[in-house]
Amino acid sequence: MSETPAAPVKVKFFSGEDIPLELHKVRIVQKLYLRPVDERLKAMQAAGFNTFQLSTLDVFLDMLTDSGTNAMSDNQVSSMLRADDAYAGSQSFARMEAAVREVFGTQYVIPVHQGRAAENVISRAFIKQGDVIPMNYHFTTTKAHMEISGGKIFEIYTDEALKIKSSFPFKGNMDINKLKALIKEHGAARIPFIRLEASTNLIGGQPFSIANMREVRKVADQHAIMVLMDASLIGENAYFIKQREAKFKNASIKDILLTMCGLVDMIYFSSRKVSSTRGGGICTNKKDLFLKVRDLVVLFEGFVTYGGMSVREIEALAVGMYETTDETVISQSPSFIAYLVNELDKQGIPVVTPAGALGCHLDAMGFLPHVPQKEYPAGALATALFIISGIRGMERGTISSVRDDQGNDILADVELLRLAFPRRVFTLSQTKFALDRLTWLYKNRELVGGLKFVDEPTVLRFFMGRLAPTSNWPDRLVKQFKKDFGNSL
């Protein structure tokens, strides 16, 4: 019997209930703390109303991110014991190389310590001052690295991408006409590469289609421009292709991954996401491209057979790579997200649809229409949800943006509160708890007010910045919570 059952992995319930099913057993557990509401308020105050600053001792469901928090499999953990500690020529690296060759179909692979390290190296290797970089959408660290290297980013998404409510299956697609116009305007010589981000993170974990990738490839070939793929969330993007792109309905995830990777010149990834471990990598079939990044990896990351990663992590990465081709693994997070998104949507609670990868994305401007965007509705919603539930989400709105030259906030396209579902970490009853508390919060949304910065770093301010509420609204929220829930946590 094959270890990987044939698709589809969806299980139908006799009762007719449409709920996700955990296709694994839990063998190692970690205790969680659900603190009383007064303690949660105190923890939030101490954290400067920034969920990045909370201690996990105060957090019940940590839905901040899937980065480095996906559950590892038994095979991944056990592989770490056979790590071959060597500065150069480690067998652990040989196993990683073999895994990436098989799963992505790329000959050359080089480890780096995490996704943004790949972005640093690639930006330095290929971007010159004044260059133009088309992409379906930016990611925070991507944009920061590419701009430091002198590049200017152009996001050329389709009209559907930023609509909160949509049934468009591929909101991560690139708009081909806009891509052609951009190349015409700036000239191919100023475009070092076109970047495609799988399961586009900041617009709600939304995938692109292979049909769209093929169109991008065609335009790139006409102008001899390189195509770069951020594959940090490639497994989920492949899963959505199988679900939503008719041509690939019967294809295996393995074949879909190989098709995707075969359409680009270079791939990089954060293995904190794609293979449920730590680290990252850069891969390609083109020797000239490989050599350009190789020398920078040696300079910034470490020798080419470890690239800043521990060999134990490299072993787990290799196993995680193979597991990315297993539909029972990569379908887990999307199916729990779909459950929460669809239940919220049924109640009219504003949430990004269709459900995507990585997390459930609440539309904070729809949820809190009375909070002006300059008072950071997504940050306010993250604060309020933590206080009333102990659930830690991540602001993905204007706090995650930057200021312009005059010091004004550049308002984000969308104000989202992301509730991440790391792979195989949360159960259905925990998901139902999140649904229940969000429902209560929506009914009491008028109690939630805005936030303002009191300490604001100049780079990636959302990580370390400290904020304060614009009024004493958190106290009012706690009062109402106690009225409705009594002594309940």
* Interaction site with ligand F0G (CB under 6 A): 65, 67, 114-116, 139, 141-142, 197, 201, 230, 232, 270, 272, 280
d(CA 260, CA 279): 22
Least distance (Å) between residue 354 CB and ligand F0G: 19
In the Cβ-directed half-sphere of 132, how many Cα atoms lie within 13 Å?
17
CB 297 within 8 A of CB 304: yes
* Active-site residue, 82 included: no
Annotated active-site residue 200? The verdict is: no
Nearest CB to ligand F0G, comparing residues 230 and 265: 230
Of the residues 140, 141, 259, 470, only one is catalytic, namely 140
Beta bridge partners of 455: 466
Catalytic residue (choose from 87, 295, 443, 484): 87
In the three-class reduction of DSSP (H, G, I as helix; E, B as strand; rest coil), residue 39 is classed as helix
Closest distance to ligand F0G from the beta carbon of 309 (Å): 11
Query: What is the rounded CA–CA span in Å between residue 239 and residue 243?
Result: 6
Give yes or no: 462 in active site.
yes
Which element (helix H / strand E) includes 281? strand 280-284
Cβ neighbour number for residue 130 with a 10 Å cutoff: 10
CB of 31 to ligand F0G, least distance (A): 24
In the complex, which residue's CB is closest to ligand F0G? 115
Closer of 134 and 280 to ligand F0G (Cβ): 280
Active site residue 139: yes
Joined tokens for residue 342:
């669809």
323 versus 395: smaller Cβ distance to ligand F0G:
395
Nearest by Cα to 353 from 201, 200, 169: 169
Residue (206 or 389) nearer to ligand F0G, CB: 206
Please confirm, yes or no, whether 247 is among the known catalytic residues.
Answer: no
Least distance between ligand F0G and beta carbon 12 (Å): 32
Q: How many residues does the chain have?
A: 489
Q: Given the complex with ligand F0G, which of 47 and 477 has the nearer CB atom?
A: 47
What distance in Å separates the CA atoms of residue 439 and residue 444, rounded to the nearest whole number?
9
Tokens of 122: 């690639």
Best CA proximity match to 126, nearest among 176, 183, 194 = 194
The active-site residue, picked from 60, 93, 126, 139, is 139
Active-site choice (396, 418, 423, 461): 396
194 and 180 in contact (C-beta within 8 Å)?
no
Tokens (6 digits) for 281: 């990598």
Closest approach, Cβ 193 to ligand F0G, in A, equals: 15
Q: Which amino acid is at 220?
A: A
Which of 264, 324, 275, 375 is CA-nearest to residue 103?
A: 324
* Residue closer to ligand F0G, measured from CB, 139 or 473: 139
CB of 46 to ligand F0G, least distance (A): 22
Q: List the catalytic residue out of 40, 195, 273, 294.
A: 273
Return all residues near 139 (Cβ < 8 A) that are at least 6 apart. 197, 201, 202, 230
278 vs 294, beta carbon nearer ligand F0G:
278
Residues 204 and 171 sit within 8 Å (Cβ to Cβ)? yes
Residue 288 beta carbon to ligand F0G: minimum distance, rounded to whole angstroms? 24
Cα 358-359-361 angle, rounded to 5 deg:
130
Alpha-carbon distance 59 to 418, whole Å? 16
Q: Is 195 a catalytic residue?
A: no
230 is known as an active-site residue: yes
Residues acting as catalytic residues: 87, 139-140, 230, 273, 396, 462
